[in-house]
Amino acid sequence: MSLSPKQQKLARQLTNGVVFPLFLTRSLPMGWIAGLRVRELNEEKCTTSVPFKFLNKNPFKSIYFAVQSMAAELSTATPCMLAITGKKPSVAFIIVNLKATFSKKATGRVYFTCEDGSKAFAAVEKCIETGDSAEVTLKTVGKMKDGTVVSEFEFTWSFKQRKS
């Protein structure tokens, strides 16, 4: 599977260190404040990151769970955005379930990697082919630079064709 020109353009914009913060400022201001970044994006994999900084910390001197959730969601939502880009008929998507596990304190920048991108593309194709909604669960794992796993998330996304 290869990305269409529209999907390639979106991937370049989302991984661009200048364009993406502007997108966040307009569409997801809390993500901009938290310092979210998309580090890598293709049809298989997405890696996002969030820094440990004063605005993101909790009283226990680690990254607040909601900030981790925001970065984790981005690592699964971005492949979904990529999968629906340029599709006819147009497809909408929304989270319908979330499961999270926190195993260690996040005391440094955390990188969330989702390697289930192909599942999002398959769900969008199924949605378009059948006209029915489709659901997919995407897993992402949050690790600090040294490889320590701090949290794991599973987001279930629902895709549905928009009415013409």
Region at 64 (left for phi over 0; alpha for psi -120 to 50; beta for the rest): beta
HSE-up of residue 4 (Cα within 13 Å, Cβ side): 10
| Tens of pLDDT, residues 121-152 | 999 999 999 999 999 999 999 999 999 999 99
The CATH number linked to 99 is 3.10.129.10
Residue 164: is its pLDDT beyond 80?
no
Residue 138 belongs to domain spanning: 5-161
Give pLDDT, residue 155.
Answer: 98
In the chain, % helix, strand, coil (3-state, to 5) comes to 40, 30, 30
Mean pLDDT score across all residues of the chain = 96
Give pLDDT, residue 161.
Answer: 94
Quote the number of domains for the chain: 1
Give pLDDT, residue 91.
Answer: 96
Stretch 85-108: mean pLDDT, rounded?
96
| Tens of pLDDT, residues 60-92 | 999 999 999 999 999 999 999 999 999 999 999
- Confidence category of residue 2, pLDDT binned at 50, 70, 90: confident
